[in-house]
Amino acid sequence: MIQFNYIAAFFLIVLGFYTIVTKYNLVKTVIGMSVMDYGVNLLIITIGYTPGGTAPIFTAGELTQASYFVDPIPQALTLTSIVIGACVTAMSMSLVIRLHESYGTLDTREIRRLRG
Amino acid sequence: MTANIFLNGLQYLGYILIFPGFLFCFVCGMLLTGIDRKLVARMQKRVGPPILQPFYDFFKLCGKETIVPAAASRTTFLMAPLVGLAALVVIQLFIPIHGFSAFSGMADIIVILYLLLIPALAAILGAAASGSPYAGVGLSREMVTIISCELPLVLILLAVAKTVGNAMGTGLCFSMSDIADYQVQHGSLITRLSMIPAAIAFAMVIPGETGSHPFDTAEAETEICEGMHAEYSGAPLAAFKLSHAIKVLTLTSLFVALFFGGIGTGLVALDGVIVFALCVIATALFISFVHAVTARLKIEQVFKYYWTVVSGLALVSLVLAWYGM
Amino acid sequence: MFQKLIAESTAKSPWLFHINSGSCNGCDIELVAILTPRYDVERLGFKLAGSPRQADIVVVTGPVTKQSLNRVLSTISQVPEPRCIVTMGSCPQSGNVFKGSYSVCAPLSQYVHVDVDIAGCAPKPEAIIDGLAKATKILKEKRGRM
Amino acid sequence: MNLANMTDYHHFPIYAIMVLFLGAFVVSVAGAKPSGNLKNPAGARAWIALCATGLSLFFLVMLIKPVMLEGEIIAYWMGSRAIAGGYAIGIALEVDALSLFFALLIATAVFVSAIYSIRYMVHDDCVPQYYVLYCLLAGGVLGLVLSGDIFNMFVMVEILTFAAVALTAFRTKVYGALEAAFKYLVVGCMGSTAILTGTIMLYAQYHTLNLAQLASLIPGTLNNATKLAFAFLYIGFSTKAFIVPFHPLAADAHGAAPASISVLISGVLTKSGIYGIIRLTYFLFQTMNLGSMQFMLVFIGSVSMFVCVTMALAQHDFKRLLAYHSISQIGYVLAAVGLSTSLGISAGLYHAMNHTLFKGLLFLAAGAVLHETGTTDLGKLGGLSKKMPHTTALFLIGAFSISGVPPFNGFASKWMIYQASYQKAVETNNIGFLAVTIIALVTSTLTLASFVKVSQSVFFGQLPREYENVKEVPFGMRLAMGILAVLCILTGIFPNTVTGVLTQPAAKAVADVGEYITAMGFKSNLPVPEVSFVQVGVWEPINWLLILCIALLALTIVAVAGKYDRVSENEGEQVETKYQLFYGGEKNVYSQVGGGDLFWGFKHNWRHYFDFMHDLHSGIVNDYALWAVVALALAIVYMMIVL
């Protein structure tokens, strides 16, 4: 079952790349970036996941040899990654708004003053 | 001890000021230019100026008024010729003459390649500082000529480094004095198959570097009013003329030091030096010959010529050197 | 001694700058003729300079038209001292056949001091060389006075 | 915790990072007062930022003795959470000579740029935010190079990318600033995602994020997943270094950002990418003994240096031109580092340092021009040397340095790179490395050409009438440029000292991976390598300079005796005809040979190439994203084949 997660994660990443490369709308580009982020998050969570494991929350003395829990580090990493993803989205959306103000369009093919 | 240091210092000062420094450069460079002018005139069935004509020109210019245009940047405009001249004389000190060089082991061939840029750069900055659009066109052409000559020169020098390195068993040799010593011991490099195309290519580079026909687009006095020197008059112009003369000497002696070093019968003590001098004069005559029989090229033709024909020759040489021929 | 050397050299290396102030090109061609193998003034050290900044002798041809007057004067002023101004052909000296025309300002000598006049329409190369040789003497004198 | 404990130098790396983040925080709270009341509202904040960067530099300089000279590797566990059960649990900082070398570069550039910012930013609004982002950027880069933990490296990459994007768009009114920021954000974000993906794939395999431990585990256990991770990480750090094919972003971002930020993006951000690539190839995967990896780095380096220098020749904007040059110089660094010889690494790092110094200087000079004239368009400027003599002199020092004119620092390092590549070619009997030498030498001349173009069209030539009233920039800005100029000269004329103290220890650290692993407390059986820095060439800048000075002195004496300096000049307001430029007698008009077509003779022969390149750099963000994806795909395929 867990293979589907990996496939889905890489599918999302590739879908994000696809969106960024082929869509000429700035907002869609931002969506592509978010999709890419979610793919990575899914990948991280999947890596830490162990079938049947419990949450990695223990108090002193409770932890025994038989304890079976998911890897906590990827979860921490995911949190960081989600925060960063949100920041990226916020920042890029704010840039999109300003770009729309000054260029009057959201088409990437027209936003190319800097070239050559 | 102190006396020793003093004497050494005096000796080095002598190197810088007299031989092979300023005085030598001044006299020999001017004479080479004079010979060039005379020879070209003779080839055009003219009487031509006296051989000492460059000296007259130099001293006349020293006595002329120096005008600094209002649009020029004074310091750069006046300092550029001096810096260029000094830098050029210093290069001459590094070039070994039959195994003798005033300051050996201080700069290798790649460094000399870069030191050769300094006089050209000084001339370019001086021209830019004059503010004249003619000078602007001139410096643009000069820079393109430098770019053109750079690729063949690089290839030639790398080929020489590889050939001498192979022969010495070190694989690589950048040091100018080692190259000279090697030639004194084992005969000149031109006798090797791989060095013949390089020598031809270098001989073709000299007119470009010195701005002689057919590559004198940068100075083209008939189209762009002397180009880079359009606003120069008096002593700074004299310094530029002198730099040009010394550059001819430097490049020809570099050519001889790289490819014709070590020729000599060993019968007379100064034999090698005399042969060296004769080689320099012969090379200068060759340049004059090219000067007399060609017409000025356009700048893009200069570039094309150097990056195809001359670089091709140099590349052949490099490949041959790489495979040890 | 050094001053003497410079003065001697000045006489031996005069560089020409040629200004055409509306000439019919007759004089211009004659001026170029003196550089040819037959007359070869380079043996006397003469050379055509590309820019007035490098010149010693300014050779003016043509009747100094109104259009060119200011240009001629400003170019002459840009030649560094010591300099020598030579008019060549009859036009800049008198106006020649153009004299009296509304658009001609000749003679040039009313605007600047002219050192040598080479007469003729157009002057023979021998005459030009003679005039230029006189100009070099004047040049040497001027250098001596500096 | 007592004072003696706190002043132990093992704490200094974390101090150096935290003082910048703390500075960012303090700057943002210091903005409580309404800014209109103060005469110079930005002043206090600027000084806070300056103090933070200065302190950070101080802490790092204090580390030179133990780390560089005595060869200690500082392994620092945050909160003293060291290794447990053979696995690194805590977050670690690991400072070896390589990290410290880059950290010193970064701290110097950041400090100088902070000095410059004080006067440079006075005309801008939102200055508090500027300094917050400035400190975040500096802290991010410093954290990246000092970190001993790969996930921390990712976090720092994100911090610096955000700060850099925000600062690129800081002057929203600047032509193209928003656009540049957006492009940079999109491709930078793809790069960051690649880094995170690579990191997490490594974690899945080895269950650790510690660099040293990864370095001890990975070699010898390469499978397809690790190769994939390697490709992802490599592309991620490439986007940070802006090497080909990510160079258009650098051109956009450097050109649009304020000059003080361009210094950081060009001199600092690109270095962090190079640092990442070195850590990745030499330490984590230890693949640099493979000829194919050397080929890859050297190839990409050579392509970067040549493509970017030709792109720079075609530019019309001062800062955009500099931006392309900075990637060209990064190409030198990458090619030299990719040679995988001690001399090559040392030369590459030396060039990285020099690049930070001279490119910083050039960007600051460009900023000075922008500050005074309001434009950086090469076609509109000219003749500023009469109005801004100091800036011109400083610019020329930078220009000579970057174009490799002896005795400035660019020459010394480039010269070492030539030797290193040629030696490598001879040792391996591989003619490909010889091509690198040739490309590097030709690129150097083209660099000179484009700086001749800049000096002709900005500082020399004629002054356009609208810039008659331009003044020299304030002292603070000149001071910042002066510091960099002095460093450029010093590092140029003492190449042996500089390489001995800074780059050779760093190169040794790169060679000695085993020490890096054991210093952190992990086992390594890597042998201690032999390092030699023997050079075939000779170059003694001090003696040369001495001879040149004597020659120049002799000439000057002759010239003064001959009344060389008694020139005739125009006096008074009105320019007499005598002192006007010669236009064939025409009236004096403004006429300048424009920068764009200055090297027509060269460009004409290459016109098809230039047209092609111009079309290729289309400016559409999708295209650049496509390049990134293609580069990623190629990297994956290449790694799968050769590793």
Query: Tell me: the pLDDT tens digits for D208-263?
Result: 888 888 888 888 888 888 888 889 999 999 998 888 888 888 888 888 888 888 88
Q: How far is A62 from chain D (nearest CA, A)?
A: 19
Confidence of residue D3 (pLDDT cuts 50, 70, 90): low
Mean pLDDT to the nearest integer, B65-88: 84
Q: Is B170 left (phi over 0), alpha (psi -120 to 50) or beta?
A: alpha
pLDDT (0 to 100) of residue C41: 86
Query: Tell me: the pLDDT tens digits for B111-151?
Result: 888 888 888 889 888 888 888 888 888 888 888 888 888 88
* pLDDT at residue D33 greater than cutoff 70: no
Residue A14 touches partner D, C-beta closer than 8 Å: no
Q: Which residues of chain C carry a pLDDT beneath 50?
A: none
Chain B residue with minimum CA distance to D385: B73
Interface test with C, best of D558, D567, D577 (most C CBs within 10 A): D577
pLDDT (0 to 100) of residue D633: 92
Tokens at A34, concatenated: 């978010």
Query: Tell me: the pLDDT tens digits for D401-437?
Result: 998 888 888 888 888 888 888 888 888 888 888 888 8
pLDDT (0 to 100) of residue D430: 81
- With an 8 Å Cβ cutoff, are C72 and D585 in contact? yes
Q: Contact, D163 vs D601, CB < 8 A?
A: no
* pLDDT at residue D37 greater than cutoff 50: no
Query: Tell me: the pLDDT tens digits for D437-447?
Result: 888 888 988 89
Query: Tell me: the pLDDT tens digits for A69-113?
Result: 777 888 888 898 899 889 889 989 998 998 898 888 888 888 888
Name the residue among C106, C95, C57 with its Cα closest to residue C79: C57
Name the residue among B154, B153, B90, B151 with its Cα closest to residue B122: B90
pLDDT (0 to 100) of residue B265: 57
Residue D580 touches partner C, C-beta closer than 8 Å: yes
- Give buried/exposed letters for B173-194 (b at 16+ CB in 10 A, else e): bbbbbbbbbbbbeeebbbebeb
* pLDDT at residue D595 greater than cutoff 70: no
Which domains, and CATH codes, for chain C? 2-145 (3.40.50.12280)
Query: Tell me: the pLDDT tens digits for D55-87?
Result: 899 888 888 888 888 888 888 887 777 777 777
Interface test with C, best of B60, B68, B225, B241 (most C CBs within 10 A): B60
Top-ranked range on mean pLDDT: pick from B279-288, D299-308, D594-603: D299-308
Contacts of D568 in chain C (CB under 8 A): 80
Q: Residue B138, class by beta-carbon neighbours within 10 Å (0-12 exposed, 13-18 middle, 19+ buried)?
A: buried
Element (H, E) at C84: strand C84-88
Q: Given the structure tokens 């999302």, which residue do they identify?
A: A12
Mean pLDDT to the nearest integer, B157-181: 80
Structural domain count of chain B: 1
Q: How far is D282 from chain B (nearest CA, A)?
A: 27
> For chain B, what is the mean pLDDT?
82
Contacts of D133 in chain A (CB under 8 A): none
Top-ranked range on mean pLDDT: pick from C100-114, D185-199, D462-476, D495-509: D185-199
Mean pLDDT to the nearest integer, D300-315: 88
Neighbours of chain A (3+ CB pairs under 8 A): D
Prediction ipTM score: 0.86
Contacts of D580 in chain C (CB under 8 A): 74, 78
* pLDDT at residue D172 greater than cutoff 70: yes
Contacts of C71 in chain D (CB under 8 A): 584-586
> For chain C, what is the mean pLDDT?
86
Q: Give the number of beta-carbon pairs within 8 Å between B and C.
A: 95
* pLDDT at residue D466 greater than cutoff 50: yes
Residue A88 touches partner D, C-beta closer than 8 Å: yes
Query: Tell me: the pLDDT tens digits for D370-399?
Result: 888 888 888 788 778 888 888 888 998 999
Name the residue among B237, B195, B273, B280 with its Cα closest to residue B84: B237
Answer CATH for A2-51+71-103 from 1.10.287.3510, 3.40.50.920, 3.10.110.10, 3.40.50.280: 1.10.287.3510
Of D155, D186, D252, the CB nearest to A20: D186
pLDDT (0 to 100) of residue D72: 83
Chain B positions with Cβ closer than 8 Å to C: 37, 41, 44-50, 53, 55-60, 62-67, 134, 220-222, 224-227, 229-234, 237
- DSSP secondary structure, B213-251, as one string: TTSGGGT-HHHHTTGGGTT--HHHHHHHHHHHHHHHHHH
Lowest mean pLDDT of B7-11, C14-18, D494-498, D594-598, name the range.
D594-598
Interface test with B, best of D567, D571, D575, D608 (most B CBs within 10 A): D567
Interface test with C, best of D575, D578, D579 (most C CBs within 10 A): D578
pLDDT (0 to 100) of residue D227: 87
Can you give the residue ranges of every domain in chain D? Answer: 3-549+629-642
pLDDT (0 to 100) of residue B264: 63
pLDDT (0 to 100) of residue D36: 47
Lowest mean pLDDT of A7-21, B187-201, D21-35, D486-500, name the range.
D21-35
Q: Which amino acid is at D298?
A: V
Mean pLDDT to the nearest integer, D607-614: 87
**β-sheet bridge partners, residue A107:** A25
* pLDDT at residue B217 greater than cutoff 80: no
pLDDT (0 to 100) of residue B221: 67
pLDDT (0 to 100) of residue D41: 54
pLDDT (0 to 100) of residue B65: 82
Confidence of residue A15 (pLDDT cuts 50, 70, 90): very high
Q: Is D537 left (phi over 0), alpha (psi -120 to 50) or beta?
A: beta
Q: Residue D379, class by beta-carbon neighbours within 10 Å (0-12 exposed, 13-18 middle, 19+ buried)?
A: middle
Top-ranked range on mean pLDDT: pick from D277-281, D372-376, D511-515: D277-281
Q: Residue B224, class by beta-carbon neighbours within 10 Å (0-12 exposed, 13-18 middle, 19+ buried)?
A: buried
